[in-house]
Amino acid sequence: MSTDKPRDSRSRLVFLIPIIAFIGFAAIAGAALLGTLSGTRNSDQLPSVLIGKSAPDLPITPLSEDMAKPLEAFQGQPVLINFMASWCAPCRAELPALALLSEEVAVIAVAYKDKHQDTATFLETYGNPYQAVWMDYDGAVGRSYGLYGVPETYLIDGNGKIILRHAGPVFRDVIDTIIRPALAKLSEAE
């Protein structure tokens, strides 16, 4: 056999193409992996498909009669819907920041898959920054908002449209970098 006869340069080039293609793919996958690891590429923070659409209905059962303000009562002003639960630790952690925020914008809570008594005790113990609290016993309302888990917060504009979804607790940095800018943009638009 005379396969040791040198090939021409074009054949050598052809041989290189798969390797170059492989390196290209590896680069793309690597960048995606790095993004995932560093948190800049996070499937939890995908923009909600509901943005720009009307906010789905809130649950029908309020925590109590004085916490029974419906979404329509906030027409003409922005409102934050905060999905929370007494069984969720970050929900407790975000309460002080929410209390701070409640001085600038109305915040209402949807207790996601929580028990009535547990929500009541939770808010009595750690303070209640909400203007209304609605009970989403089976999580159906959460799913209609495309909820991944609690806590999650949605900003609704004066026309009842969803402007923003934030997954995870609302801490002060979130207020400064995400929520206040969005609120400012809303008041500017008016």
Distance of alpha carbon 163 from alpha carbon 156, whole angstroms: 6
Determine contact, residues 71/160, Cβ cutoff 8 Å. Answer: yes
Q: Dig out the tokens for 173 from the structure.
A: 């940095």
Minimum CB distance to another protein smaller for 2 or for 177: 2
Within residues 131-170, the interface with another protein by CB under 8 A covers 137, 139-140, 143-146, 148-149
Phi, psi (degrees; rounded to nearest 5) at 77: -140, 150
Q: State how far the Cα of 78 lies from the Cα of 155, in Å rounded to an integer.
A: 7
Q: Residues 27, 31, 32, 46: which binds another protein (CB under 8 A)?
A: 46
Q: By C-beta, is 118 or 176 nearer to another protein? A: 118
Give yes or no for a contact between 138 and 111, defined as CB atoms under 8 angstroms apart: no
Among 8, 72, 103, 124, binds another protein (CB under 8 A): 8
Q: Which stretch binds another protein (CB under 8 A): 5-13, 71-79, 96-104, 180-188?
A: 5-13
The answer to whether 63 touches 135, Cβ cutoff 8 Å, is: yes
Query: Does residue 19 bind another protein (CB under 8 A)?
Result: no
Spacing of C-alpha 97 from chain mean position:
16
Among 54, 73, 116, 121, binds another protein (CB under 8 A): 116
Rounded CA gap, 86 and 74, in Å? 25
Shortest approach of another protein to residue 1 CB, angstroms?
A: 6
Residues forming contacts to another protein in the complex (CB under 8 A) are 1-3, 5, 7-8, 10-11, 14-15, 17-18, 21, 43-44, 46, 48-50, 60-62, 65, 68, 113, 115-117, 137, 139-140, 143-146, 148-149
